[in-house]
Each structure stands twice: as structure tokens, then as C-alpha cells.
Amino acid sequence: MRSATMAPAPVELPELRGRRARHPDRDRTLMRGDLVVGVTTAATLWVITVIGLCFGGGQLGLGIAATLLGAITLWALNWFDRHIPRQQRAVLVIKADLALFSPSQLTDLIAPLGYEAQFRQQNGDRKHARLCFDIGWRRPEVAGPPLDLLKLVNEHYSILSFQLSPPVRH
């Protein structure tokens, strides 16, 4: 006598309503938006595991070769990663007389250098206003701080503060 088996009824969770179904293994992928992140860390763990198995299994030559290959690969990828241009951000606060200044003047001043400015807020009176801007630009990590921007802005306005934000990594 055969027993009848029934397929379990699908359970709809409120937090998943409206989302398309995915393969369970794909849900464990390290994703941020449409980008995969954390791959270097996972790959490094795999390489270290292989190296450990080589040495543990008595394959010293293979373990040394894997160690050298892994170290050279990680060094090269790190060098390449530091040279990729990324979106950088900072907050710039200047002091200006509003009778002589408009936020578009700063935007026009720094645009030829490849910087963008977005007005954020204003404090103080019209004569001694503190103006806050979000500054954005695209540059690799190895280029260092935007000294050209600071020099240009300082020639025209009094800089009260300049605070770098962490680079936007994708």
C-alpha cells in the first residue's frame, strides 16, 4: 500500500511579499545592491585553506608554491584596487559675505578641476555667514587629499573646515 505524500503549501512571509523567488544558494551571496562584495575575503580564506591542506598533507613544495602565488596575487590585486578611481566626498565649510557671494560661485570655481559642490546649509548673519557644502570628485585612493581644491578655494574664501568622508566603495 502506497502512502500519499503532499507537497508542503508555500508560506508567504510579509517581508518577502512582492519579491521574486530566488535560488536558496543565491540568497547567501554577499550583495550590496547589484554588486557582489566580500569576494576577496572569501577567496583569501579558500587560498589559506588550500595552503593548509598542502602543508598538512606533506606537500611542502606545493604549499610553498601556493603561498607564493597567493601572496603575489593578493599584492597585485591590492595595488590595482588602490589605483581605481572612486567617488570621493568631503564637507567644506567656508566663511563669506552673502552680499558678495552666491553658492553657484563656488560650484563654478571648482568645476574646471573636476569637483562638484552642493550647497547644504547656512549659519550666521549675512555679513559673516558660514556656508556648508558637500564636495564630490572622482579620484583613486593613491592620489591623496584634494590639495588643489583647498588651495583654489582658500585663494577666494576663508576655509573654516574641510572634512573628508570615507570613499564610496562598490
**Continuous segment of H or E residues that includes residue 113:** none
pLDDT of residue 23: 44
124: left (phi over 0), alpha (psi -120 to 50) or beta: left
Are residues 111 and 91 in contact, defined by beta-carbon separation less than 8 angstroms? no
pLDDT of residue 82: 87
Are residues 106 and 117 in contact, defined by beta-carbon separation less than 8 angstroms? yes
Q: Name the pLDDT band for 97 (thresholds 50, 70, 90).
A: confident
Name the burial class of residue 45, with classes exposed (0-12), middle (13-18) and buried (19+) by CB atoms within 10 angstroms of its CB.
exposed
In this predicted model, which residue has the larger pLDDT, 168 or 25? 168
- The per-residue pLDDT for range 80-95, each reduced to its tens digit, is 888 989 899 999 999 9
pLDDT at 2 over 70: no
Q: Name the pLDDT band for 8 (thresholds 50, 70, 90).
A: low
* Arithmetic mean of pLDDT over the chain: 81
Please provide the CATH number assigned to the domain covering 86-164. 3.30.70.260
- The per-residue pLDDT for range 108-146, each reduced to its tens digit, is 999 999 999 999 998 888 788 899 999 999 999 888 889
